[in-house]
Amino acid sequence: MDIQLNQNEFQETIANNNAIAIDFYADWCGPCQTLLPTVHKLADEFQGEVTVRKVNVDTNQELAAKFGVRSIPTIIYLHNGKEVNRHNGLLSEGMLKGHLNQLKNL
């Protein structure tokens, strides 16, 4: 499953999903690459409950600016289109899973 999200798909994704986690990353970022397999795994695991997507900050600078992303990786959690939480830096699978469980239960 492709979980990449760009500027054109963003509004549609927000409109059609109540709970969304967006991983802002870059290909050159070591911690981002470390987190990538976990993001993909949890995107599959939470399918139908939380929409997990990733946004490349190099090719989607407008989205990164809109959310005030200043460091990567940054994961932003949205509920009904509004930011409810954010985490900067590397997360363990257990921590990320906990945040996704909180989001799906809002």
CA distances for 52 relative to 18, 56, 88, 100, angstroms: 11, 14, 16, 9
Q: For this structure, is 29 an active site residue?
A: yes
Q: Indicate which residue of 19, 21, 32, 63 is catalytic.
A: 32
Q: For this structure, is 58 an active site residue?
A: no
What is the rounded distance in angstroms from the CA atom of residue 39 to the CA atom of residue 43?
A: 6
Q: Indicate which residue of 3, 29, 36, 84 is catalytic.
A: 29
Please identify every residue annotated as catalytic: 29, 32
